[in-house]
Structure 1
Amino acid sequence: MADYQETTDFNSYVALGDSFTEGLNDPGPDGRYAGWADRLAQLLAAQRPAADFRYANLAVRGRLLDQVVAEQVPRVAEIRPDLVSFCAGGNDILRPGSDPDEAAERFEAAVLELRRHAGRVLICTGFDTRGIPLLGLLRGKIATYNGHLRAIADRNDCAVADLWSLRAVHDRRAWSEDRLHLSPEGHQRVALLAARSLGLPLTSAQDPDAPWPAAPELSVAEQRRENLHWAREFLVPWVGRRLRGESSGDHVEAKRPELSPL
């Protein structure tokens, strides 16, 4: 294990993962996606002179756990950051026939490697999919995988951003139109949860579970129209890619492949 002091005063941060960490559906000012990891990096940089903080995001949409391990984890040994976030396996769990027990074994092997080269490792559990069309059917598998992730964190002294317990994301406004990726405000809530998990000082206005403003309820007819639009625009293309063996991440490269100042 690397000889690092446990501290919230991080000089460098590397984010690993798939579309969740790449930040899909949270457009940034530079035209690239931002996302919770970029937002967390901003919170970390605010703890010290901005010029002293560096950040890399190696996450690529559509990546399975083994791809993240093969393509992204080895870079941590080269960079040796103070902090690495490792959120992977969600795309595996979505696949028919996947085994959360077996996926967790591969996840822990990667965590052991990361702990050798990073000062602190942050992992994320999966979201609670209760009430979400189709994904709700996988709730048991996600809960099983989450149980393993928490145990892995305990055994290996990792910080945990527990997305399952984040009540704020049960609001539809936390999700983008495709219902698979967070909205900008959803990404902000996750960034605040991750910051709190790392022990960063937050104000009362930065509560990740702060209540949402009141919003009008959709009628049954409006919900039906939304569901039909979602199925046509997002579900059918997603199923089509699976049947063709394609990934949304084909030909996509990491947006911040090197440590650099924000």
Structure 2
Amino acid sequence: MKEQKERNELLIEGRNAVLEAFRSGKPIDKVFILDGCQDGPIRSIVREAKKHDTILNFVAKERLSQLSETGKHQGVIAFAAAYEYADIEDMFELAKERGEDPFLLILDNIEDPHNLGAIIRTANLAGAHGVIIPKRRAAGLTSTVAKTSAGALNYTPVAKVTNLVKTMEELKERGLWFVCADMDGETMYRVNLKGPIGLVIGNEGEGVSRLVKEACDFTASIPMKGDIDSLNASVAAGVLAYEIVRQRTM
């Protein structure tokens, strides 16, 4: 399966192994548990998952068998992140160290790990201070993401949050304003992209979700002269990020 191939070395199988991974502080993105299984070790894993706000999936035995590499999953499989997630505060500290206005990328519905890795790479090269992704409907920090980022994941903080809209509202209180990439928005050259800013990018199929878009202050579009109507998400992120760089250096 695609999910397994992308994450295989991050797979943790078995009750003790998963429980120890939680207790050791290893970042766990998702846990798959055999539906209906409620014995002591499983209940402990569920408690740990809830404590760490990890996504829980209760699935049929066939699904676990598909995911399993060893065939000895004991009713539980976890996917661990390849890298530690950062705190948003780390991003503000990085901006402060550089003496710059905060510049963050907020990613909505970016589920392709290659796109996520490419965006993190662009964020680093464009001088962004961090990338924020949601817990659900998003790629996590898998080894594929790390490889595609070409090392940028070592330098660019990535935070994972439960609610993008709530996070954006909190960041507005700290002085940020948000521009959303949208085909129907104002041409990016006409939008003032200076100051503390969050650039919001959605996937090329569905774009930014309605609630996240409504939380943005402005929308900006990329001029397109061809016969198709959308860019790959990582390319769109790069074009808009460098328009922000251009305006900041004027």
Task: Point out which structure has higher relative CO (alpha carbons under 8 A, 6+ apart).
Answer: 1
Looking at CA atoms only, which structure, 1 or 2, has the larger radius of gyration?
2
Structure with more strand by fraction: 2
Structure with more helix by fraction: 1
